Amino acid sequence: MVLPSIPLVISRAHVQGT
């Protein structure tokens, strides 16, 4: 989102499977 959440982005990508 707006906040710089590096671990959050990685988690999202892992769930998406990109």
pLDDT tens-digit series, residues 1-18: 566 677 887 888 777 765
3-state secondary structure of 8: helix
Count CB atoms within 10 A of the CB of residue 4: 7
Q: What is the pLDDT of residue 11?
A: 80
What pLDDT is attached to residue 10? 80
Which two tokens mark 13? 């990508």
pTM value?
0.10
